[in-house]
Amino acid sequence: MAVQLDGMSIVAVIAGVTPFKSIDEDQALVQQVQQGKAAAFELLYKKHYQRVYRIAKGVLLSPDDALDATQEIFTLAYKNIKKFDERSKFSTWLCKIALNRSIQEARRLQKYKKREAQLIEATDIPDAGPQMNDPHVINTLAQMKPQDRAVLVLHYWQQMTAEEIAQVMESTEGAVKVRLHRARDRFKNLYSERS
């Protein structure tokens, strides 16, 4: 099974299980996009959508804002893909865009305090332990800085190591560890207060 783009076969496929098994698949797709094969971007989009959405959701908290931001992030990636120089993995580059854009958007919107207040007033919190839409978690995250939310999201939702996060955040591994430790501690304290 191979992916067809405007009549060109671009991806070497292993075992026919899925078209996304080739090690350099991202690179091949990126090269296709850079050569003007816009359809290749659709494959990158589908492949990385969930990852980008999670970052946006973790930083922005609102599903609607996250959906909008995800489209913007991929638009940015598409527009700037010619600048991608393959010094890093495409996924790292994309995460970097996702993170920066989400943080930028979170700062701009500045409506989370208001949202948090609304949630606190409107929610009768049942004592049923953690759940997918646990308002304690939302409210706790809402009290944190976007950068702190981001580092928690990358570590606990994307299972990224401090080294990988450092690449995305253009920081050092040590600085990421310190930030992660502080963010985790702050989350724990705020969450415990609310619980």
Partner 1 sequence: MSNLPEDLDGLLWTIAEKRDLSAAEDYLQRFPTHRVELMKRLSALESLQKFAPEDVTVPPFTPRPISAPLPTTWIVASILGIGLVGVGVTLFNNAGNTKTETVPVASSASPAHQPSTAIPQLRASRTAAEGVSQSKQATVPLETPPPAPVKTPAQRAIVQKLKLDGVQLSLVLQILAENTGLKLDVQPGLIDPKVSVEYVNQPALFVFEDLGRKFGFQAFEDAPGVITILPKKEETSGVPPQPNESPFGFNPPQERNPSSPFSGPIGKR
Considering the rule CB under 8 A, would residue 130 count as an interface residue with partner 1? Answer: yes
Whole-angstrom distance, CA of residue 123 vs CA of residue 104:
28
Considering the rule CB under 8 A, would residue 109 count as an interface residue with partner 1? Answer: yes
What torsion, rounded to 10 degrees, do the Cα atoms 144, 157, 133, 57 define? Answer: 70
Considering the rule CB under 8 A, would residue 173 count as an interface residue with partner 1? Answer: no
> For residue 152, which of 35, 61, 39, 90 has the smallest C-alpha distance?
61
Nearer to partner 1, 15 or 127 (CB): 127
Binding residue for partner 1, selected from 59, 74, 106, 165, defined by CB under 8 A: 74
Binding residue for partner 1, selected from 71, 91, 100, 147, defined by CB under 8 A: 71
Considering the rule CB under 8 A, would residue 120 count as an interface residue with partner 1? Answer: no
List the beta strands (DSSP E) in the chain: 4-5, 8-9
Site size for partner 1 (CB under 8 A): 46
Whole-angstrom distance, CA of residue 34 vs CA of residue 9:
16
Considering the rule CB under 8 A, would residue 114 count as an interface residue with partner 1? Answer: no
